Amino acid sequence: MACSRTRTSGWDSGRSRSPSTSARFGWPTPKLGRTELNSQIFTGTHLSERHRQIFIVALGELVLAAGTEMNTRNFAGGAIAACGVAFGTSVLLFLLYFQPARHLFAPPRGGVVERVKPGTSTSYCHLVMVGGVLLLSTGLSLVVDDPYGDSPLSWILILLGGPALFLLGTCLFHHLVTARILGCRVTTIVVLAAIGPAMPLLPPLGVMAVAGVVLLGALLAEFAIGRIRAAANPGPG
């Protein structure tokens, strides 16, 4: 079963690499060689759809890993708790991704990613996000093995680094498209780094749960900020 999970993760990472690496080095064409980077043009709609698909596939791998781990552990209490936290974290990642993405990909900003150079850069940002999701999937496989034991430094780095890497990818993506910085998410990354030294006091399941709570706090903070801004700048009508 572990081999199957490894193959799945490898397939996901390979799928996520293909659009960006192909754009970077060009697509081979019969008798014409590889296309040059400057000649490659995509619509914002196409790129946004591809990015969403890649991220959803990565989240699906995390959910699949959670279900597989519960089944292989015969639904033991620790495994159920760890997989429940992982599933909740995947929901939070979904919301954190699509909350700003639905605005970034909507017109009129769609023209920002028309040319392939910035489009390729947004693909690289999504690679960072997918890397964070895959780290979380790896962390889940570690936690279910010993949910209530000691928390080695390497496990803490994986369990906190996954959410931090995902948030970093969303910040880079947002900055690339809007030239703005998501201050709330930068703060969340700092919080994840700040709580790291205290995490050896908790079991692996506790570290995983704390990371989820931090992500939930970031989501609620962004929602509250959005409501405040909407109230301060009401639309017409």
Predicted TM-score of the model (pTM): 0.75
pLDDT of residue 27: 52
Per-residue pLDDT of the chain (237 residues; tens, 9 = 90+): 444 444 444 434 444 444 444 455 555 556 655 555 444 445 555 666 777 788 888 888 888 888 888 878 777 888 889 999 999 999 999 999 887 655 555 554 444 444 444 556 777 888 899 999 999 999 999 999 899 999 999 999 999 999 999 999 999 888 887 888 888 999 999 999 999 999 999 999 999 999 999 999 999 998 888 788 777 777 554
pLDDT of residue 100: 67
pLDDT tens sequence across 205-217: 999 999 999 999 9
Domain ranges of the chain: 40-106+113-219
Whether the bond between 118 and the residue before it is cis, its omega within 30 degrees of 0, is no
Secondary structure, 3-state, 196-223: HHHHHHCCHHHHHHHHHHHHHHHHHHHH
CA atoms within 13 A on the CB side of 142: 23
Secondary structure, 3-state, 81-127: HHHHHHHHHHHHHHHHHHHHHHHHCCCCHHHHHCEHHHHHHHHHHHH
Rg of the chain over Cα atoms, rounded to whole angstroms, equals: 19
Angle, CA of 195, 199 and 201, to the nearest 5°: 135
Short-list 166, 106, 162, CA closest to 136 = 162
Residue 180, SS3 per DSSP: coil
CATH 1.20.1410 for domain 40-106+113-219, yes or no, is: yes
Look up tokens 């998410």; give the residue.
185
28, β-bridge pairs: 34
Short-list 228, 89, 104, CA closest to 167 = 89
122, β-bridge pairs: none
